[in-house]
Structure 1
């Protein structure tokens, strides 16, 4: 979470994580932190390049929005460059955006259905650029939301980065199954996750795609500390977002989130965030998600106690997970 740590510290923590058994990194793309006290929000593409130098696993933005702050062509160029630097390691995570980050350019903030349509058109532009550039051809695009004059990417790896779409809704999951290489979602109750994965697979079947070659990614927030009391204190202080049981895509300021966070209580995390000092409780939860069908699970311990957590999970949790 680049909202919580300065970029150099975040890179060092990712390297420390790899030393303790973790095999990949998802870095958040925010212009602002969720809450003022989080205190940071560095530029994800710079951090990803540094992560590539310090680690050996996969890496990607989780997720970037190529529809407001960025034109899809710029995201395509950034992704192609990273994939050229670190062959076979980079994937491109794409989302429809939240006002917290995207409203800063001063454009009209549309409703969710339009944001999703913009996202899928952006995916189309990026895929066109990737395909044409690998073939050494130029391409153009004229759609309802984006225009691209005749051009190509001049730095392009032989194999395009995988494109994953982030969603928490079944309709978007099905659409993603037809169009992209994978899905990214966040932790939720098991039944909701089953529905998302089923819709993603359904879309893949309708698109005549090989489901075994598609990737199912989960971003799992959790709170671990040496005591249950510390774990809950970390959750309330650092990640009250998990306890907000309402849509947050239209909230524009960290200071608005700060006001809303004051209403979050420990019981609001039930079913939304595992808060425990027991590594085995977390291990059982992660194993259940693996059994649901997720191929990659990126863990975010919400507290600042990162090195302590990485040591404990590297020793007591990761080795006991069964794929």
Structure 2
């Protein structure tokens, strides 16, 4: 069975029209879905973009045929969970069976811009799961034709429903980088998302997610287990490393990122990144087989959807080479 390998459209790096064109080009080369990043600001000024993910996803849906979703959006700061639910339900109604909703606890870079207090990690995670509850109840109530209200620790919702709904609510996936969140996701949502990391950490997250799913009586084998995998491929190893250092140095940062508020702060930190910092975090190579082996290792760990992001600006060449030399050799 062929693997589900999608394209990660990095909206902090490419203008919206170009990102949509690249998503369509990826599909023409055999990629089977699109994950689009939700940023209000880029990681660093040189990356230069940050378009509104919901607008771009609407265009991606029109130009492609595979699955697509935000990887990930954060309800509760820039957008109330009800607004996120409405945006997601609208896309799912327009493109039945294709859209999924990826949710995360957020980063100050994107969420502090509305001036709200930026809480510590435990509170952010609790806020996220309360937002998940609001969105799930809105989806379920709206499909049943009834109003929903909510009064919780972090959010309030007056009696209302979503008047535009698909026949089936979108899958809800939660981003998890730690074992507690992964296990909680397994108990409460349809699947989970994480980013590339050392194999032992990824295996631990999959294990915890599976434990949570089984506690809730779910069949973990059929649940989405999604990985956003960063890599740097170019025609030579030297060019691949240059692309990683210049275009995606944040991939080598070894400091926590969630509390950094400015692209200019990231820029200062990125100046400390050296080639060795990518070890175990981002494969840098001109050899497609090296990348294929890494992707296959992630599939073998248990991920059933992987979305690839290439650090360089050489996106068209990357999509052509990987579509020809990497994707056909991968096994689900």
- Tell me the TM-score range normalised by the shorter chain: over 0.9
* Map of 1:80 onto structure 2: 89
- 1:201–1:211: 8 Å Cα contact kept in structure 2? yes
Deviations 1:60-110 (A, max 9, x none): 000000021110000000000000000000000000000000000001100
The DSSP-based 3-state class of the residue aligned with 2:238 is: helix
The 2-side partners of 1:108 and 1:18 are apart by 41
Matched, 1:149 2:158: yes
The correspondence of residues 30-49 of structure 1 with structure 2, limited to 5 A, is 30-49=39-58
1:273: which partner in 2? 282
* Partner in structure 2 of residue 103 of structure 1: 112
Any idea what SS the aligned residue of 2:225 has?
A: strand
Provide structure 2 residue ranges, at least 5 long, that are not aligned to the other structure. 1-9
Instruction: Give secondary structure in 2 for the equivalent of 1:109.
Output: coil
Deviation at 1:167, TM superposition (A): 1.0
Aligned residues: 323
Q: Matched residues in 2 for 1:6 and 1:251: separation? A: 24
3-state DSSP class of the match of 1:122? helix
Q: Deviations over 1:169-204 (max 9, x none)?
A: 000000000000001000111111111000000001
Task: Confirm or deny: 8 A CA contact 1:67 1:96 kept in the other structure.
Answer: no
CA deviations 1:138-182 (Å, max 9, x no partner) are 110010000000000000011000000001100000000000000
TM-score (norm. length: structure 2): 0.97
Distance across 1 between alignment mates of 2:214 and 2:292: 32
In the alignment, the residues of structure 2 paired with residue 152 and residue 128 of structure 1 have an alpha-carbon distance, to the nearest angstrom, of 9
**Match in the other structure for 2:171:** 162
Q: Which residue of 2 aligns with 1:69?
A: 78
Runs of 4+ deviating beyond 2 Å: none
Cα RMSD of the aligned pairs, angstroms, is 0.5
Paired residue secondary structure (2:321) = helix
Q: Secondary structure at the match of 2:294?
A: helix
CA distance in 2, matches of 1:45, 1:203: 30
Partner of 1:23: 32
CA shift, 1:209, in A, is 1.6
Alpha-carbon shift at residue 212 of structure 1 (Å): 2.7
Q: Does 1:185 align with 2:194?
A: yes
Q: Output the TM-score relative to the length of structure 1.
A: 0.99
Residue from 198, 202, 224 that aligns with 2:233: 224
Please state whether the residue corresponding to 2:227 is helix, strand or coil. Answer: strand
Give the secondary-structure state (helix, strand or coil) at the position aligned to 2:212.
helix
2:314 matched to 1:286? Answer: no
Does the Cα contact within 8 Å between 1:44 and 1:61 map onto a contact in 2? yes
Structure 1 residue 213: deviation in Å?
2.9
Q: Which of 307, 325, 328 matches 1:298?
A: 307
Q: Secondary structure at the match of 1:22?
A: coil
The counterpart of 2:64, out of the listed 55, 64, 81, is 55
Correspondent of 2:217 among 184, 199, 208:
208
Deviation of the 1:205 alpha carbon: 1.0
Structure 1 distance, partners of 2:25, 2:234, is 18
Distance in 1 between residues matched to 2:276 and 2:198, nearest whole Å:
15
